[in-house]
Amino acid sequence: MSMIEFQDVQKYYGDFHALHDINLTIDAGETVVLIGPSGSGKSTLIRTINGLETIQEGKLIVNGQDLAERKTDMNRIRKNVGMVFQHFNLYANKTILENIMLAPRLVLHRPEDENKKFAMDLLDRVGLADQAPKLPAQLSGGQQQRIAIARSLAMKPKALLFDEPTSALDPEMIDDVLNVMKNIARDSSMTMLVVTHEMGFAREVANRVVFMADGRILEDDSKEKFFDGQPSNERARQFLSKIITH
Amino acid sequence: MIAIFQNYGGLLLQGFGQTLLCSIIALFFSLIIGSMFAIFETTPVKFLRVIARIYIEVFRNIPLLVITMFFFVVIPMFVAKISGFAAGTIGLTIYTSAFIAETVRAGIQSVDPGQMEGARANGLSFWQAMRYIVLPQAFRYVIPPLGNQFINLVKNSSVLAFVAGFDLMYQGNVIASDSLSTMSTYVCIGLLYLVITLPLSYWMRYLEKKLA
């Protein structure tokens, strides 16, 4: 069953054609890695899925609902689709524990003791249970990103979107974050779309790799074909050779 | 000066009370109304943005005295009789709320947009994100300029004197013409304004330190 489906989607910023004839289907439980040069529209694409960006043409069906329809309730989509940002976006005025507990309390009305127990379990899972009473600014970038992942998981979403989750991190922090993401990806019930240049992550847990440039999807391959065979698109091949030699 | 306090203590006290009361009422409501229009200005709903823009530009750019006179003179002609104190307090509230709206809007816009995005992506509605995440951070930024607005509000409450609001300034005029010691009267009045504004500005400074 498809969790996210783009059908001939177009997006414009004024005259600029940001997303061009996007057709992409992501099945429930799949992990898809989205790569491409900067300015290729990866972030824009991923941000349309939870309505942070709107589309002008085409259909975008998320969890059975068409986002282009006016009556679609975005808040309901966002309950089921979590997002992790490049710059974490943790609530600066709330403690780590409150960051995780706030949305389940306000949106899902989860009972307080259950909410707290689940939040502490999640903190345990990302290895940061001892940081619960601190403020986000007191944590390193890698720690903040793991908290951001825990915050998304607290809503028990069906899908998670990652928008360059390790790009703003120091190199020695990246592995901790990737390990948390790999564990989520191995849980077969979670649908994941990840914008990243971490090819090790893609090789290990992705089902598919999608390559974008200039607002178009140029390549959509199984992981095996993308890494071990050859992408059929020339630009995708060039891009791959550049990031792999790094 | 001591004679003024001795001979006109009752009037001064009454004036002081009216000024304080008017200031507290106007401060409370202008903060609420101002914050509301500040939120309107930052919503994605265009209609609310336009409403807020009109309100702010109109009341920010008309003299306080004109707004007050409008309520004192025009409203009784068409709607209902209204006391000088009420007209002055309403005028002061509306006038100050326009400035507070601009101040709070600047505060909201100085909060990292990622905070709103993170909250929305996390499932919170626009109003929940505003209330729990954005506004608490915005108010931290705007305490110093808000303090200025509050102090201006207390001083501007002297507009009540023009509409028989029996405030400190009004009683000062009465005492000055009765006692003929103009200078010491207005010095007393000035001191009594300081009794309100100085603690207010120290309190704002304390809040600023505490929350920073």
pLDDT tens track for B30-69:
999 999 999 999 998 999 999 999 999 999 999 999 999 9
Rounded to whole angstroms, the Cα distance separating B80 from B86 reads: 12
* A233 CB neighbour count, 10 Å cutoff: 17
Rounded to whole angstroms, the Cα distance separating B105 from A53 reads: 23
The domains of chain A, with CATH numbers, are 2-245 (3.40.50.300)
- The CA distance from A93 to the nearest CA of chain B, in Å, is 7
At residue B7, the pLDDT reads: 85
DSSP element (H, E) containing B190: helix B182-211
Inter-chain touch B124–A89, beta carbons under 8 Å: no
- The CA distance from A203 to the nearest CA of chain B, in Å, is 28
Inter-chain touch A151–B114, beta carbons under 8 Å: no
Inter-chain touch A85–B124, beta carbons under 8 Å: no
Rounded to whole angstroms, the Cα distance separating A186 from A145 reads: 19
pLDDT in tens, A181-222: 999 998 878 999 999 988 889 988 899 999 999 999 999 988
Residue in B with minimal Cα distance to A156 = B122
| % of chain B surpassing 70 pLDDT | 100
Inter-chain touch B128–A87, beta carbons under 8 Å: no
pLDDT in tens, A7-66: 999 999 988 999 999 999 999 999 999 999 888 999 999 999 999 998 999 999 999 888
pLDDT in tens, A108-164: 999 999 999 999 999 999 999 999 999 999 999 999 999 999 999 999 999 999 999
Return the residue in A89, A99, A135 with the most chain B beta carbons within 10 A, the one to mutate for interface testing. A89
Alpha helix ranges (H) inside B43-134 = 46-60, 64-69, 75-78, 84-110, 113-121, 126-129
Rounded to whole angstroms, the Cα distance separating B58 from A156 reads: 48
Banded pLDDT at B77 (limits 50, 70, 90): confident
> pTM here?
0.85
Query: Does the pLDDT at position B208 exceed 90?
Result: no
- CB contacts, 8 Å: A153 with chain B: none
What six digits make up the tokens of B192?
């009594």
Inter-chain touch A106–B115, beta carbons under 8 Å: no
The domains of chain B, with CATH numbers, are 20-167 (1.10.3720.10)
A78, A87, A91 member nearest B121 (Cβ): A78
Return the residue in B117, B122, B135, B140 with the most chain A beta carbons within 10 A, the one to mutate for interface testing. B122
Inter-chain touch A78–B114, beta carbons under 8 Å: no
Inter-chain touch A85–B118, beta carbons under 8 Å: yes
- The CA distance from B198 to the nearest CA of chain A, in Å, is 30
Rounded to whole angstroms, the Cα distance separating B54 from B48 reads: 10
What six digits make up the tokens of A169?
């991190």
B60 contacts B99 by C-beta, under 8 angstroms: yes
Beta-strand pair A159-163/A191-195: parallel
Beta bridge partners of A16: A13
At residue A246, the pLDDT reads: 53
- Closest by Cα among A168, A167, A198 to A182: A198
- CB contacts, 8 Å: B120 with chain A: 52, 78
B117, B123, B128 member nearest A89 (Cβ): B117
Query: Does the pLDDT at position B199 exceed 90?
Result: yes
- Closest by Cα among B153, B150, B149, B148 to B167: B153
pLDDT in tens, A62-83: 998 888 887 788 888 899 999 9
Inter-chain touch B118–A78, beta carbons under 8 Å: no
Give the list of residues 6+ apart from residue B142 with CB closer than 8 angstroms, or none: B103, B104, B106, B107
